[in-house]
């Protein structure tokens, strides 16, 4: 049985469209992975931190999304994280960020962090998000000693804060607050667990040899860089 010409054309077109969509997504994800795989110099990492600082300024300039000064003042630690998410049926998210902790009013050197995860479900599109994770007590701050911290979710919406969805690791009063902004469109219901991990390769590149996150943030293993001091100053100014 021969199909009508228009129906036959449709059958040929649909697989090609699907192939092109999947191929485009895979190409974008592969490019992102290839970019992060290249070794980076200390100067290049400093530039990436400055971009995070610029996004922090943008967040604070948004009256609907800015972090209240009192929350920043109370925070025992902070993570600035930029994430890129994309997918067509199969989704992928990766992120780059830094963490700092405050002890006796002084900010620590910065430790580089990363976020990688995959998901499967009804999803399509891409989104770039910037989030500031505030660690509001000693227990939440001290979890940065672990190689990976599981938050179990992400801030919803295009701006504002979220104290929920941080997983079973944090209970009772919210010891973690998430503030953020998002750009782009990412549709679909995806069940996943968010996590932040130490970026050992970036830390080694930045400090010249391997230091654990514990040594960097809690044990004074390294001195704060000029960029770390600038970020600490920016956080203190925003807390006034």
Q: What is the pLDDT of residue 150?
A: 76
Q: pLDDT digits over 144-153, tens only?
A: 999 888 754 4
For 200, the token pair is: 């050992």
Rounded Cα distance between 102 and 138, Å, is 10
Report the alpha-carbon angle 95-97-98, nearest 5: 160
Q: What is the pLDDT of residue 221?
A: 96
Rounded Cα distance between 232 and 235, Å, is 5
Rounded Cα distance between 84 and 129, Å, is 6
- Give the residue extent of every domain in the chain: 1-38, 39-238
Percent of the chain with pLDDT over 70: 62
Mean pLDDT of the chain: 76
Long-range residue pairs from 220-224, CB within 8 A, at least 24 positions apart, any chain: 222/109, 223/109, 224/107, 224/108, 224/109, 224/110
Decide: 28 and 86 in contact? Cβ < 8 Å. Answer: yes
Decide: 180 and 129 in contact? Cβ < 8 Å. Answer: yes
Residues 193-211, mean pLDDT to the nearest whole number = 90
Q: pLDDT digits over 23-36, tens only?
A: 454 445 445 544 44
Element at 79 (helix H, strand E) = strand 77-103
């Amino acid at each position: 049985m021969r199909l009508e010409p228009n129906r036959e054309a449709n059958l040929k077109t649909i697989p090609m469209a699907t192939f092109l969509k999947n191929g485009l997504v895979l190409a974008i994800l592969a490019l992102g992975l290839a970019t992060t795989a290249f070794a980076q110099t200390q100067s290049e990492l400093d530039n990436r931190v400055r971009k995070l600082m610029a996004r922090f300024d943008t967040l604070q300039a948004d009256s609907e999304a800015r972090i209240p000064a009192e929350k920043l003042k109370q925070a025992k630690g902070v993570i600035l994280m930029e994430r890129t998410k994309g997918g067509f049926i199969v989704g992928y998210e990766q992120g780059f960020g830094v963490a700092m902790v405050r002890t006796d009013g002084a900010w620590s050197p910065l430790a580089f962090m990363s976020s990688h995860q995959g998901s499967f479900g009804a999803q399509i599109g891409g989104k770039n998000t910037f989030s500031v994770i505030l660690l509001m007590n000693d227990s939440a701050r001290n979890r940065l000693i672990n190689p990976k911290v599981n938050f179990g979710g992400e801030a919803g919406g295009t701006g504002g804060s979220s104290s929920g969805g941080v997983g079973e690791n944090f209970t009772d009063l919210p010891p973690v607050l998430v503030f953020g902004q998002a750009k782009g469109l990412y549709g679909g219901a995806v069940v996943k667990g968010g996590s932040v991990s130490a970026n050992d390769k970036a830390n080694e590149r930045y400090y010249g040899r391997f230091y654990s996150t514990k040594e960097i943030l809690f044990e004074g293993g390294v001195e704060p860089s000029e960029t770390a001091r600038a970020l600490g100053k920016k956080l203190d100014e925003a807390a006034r």
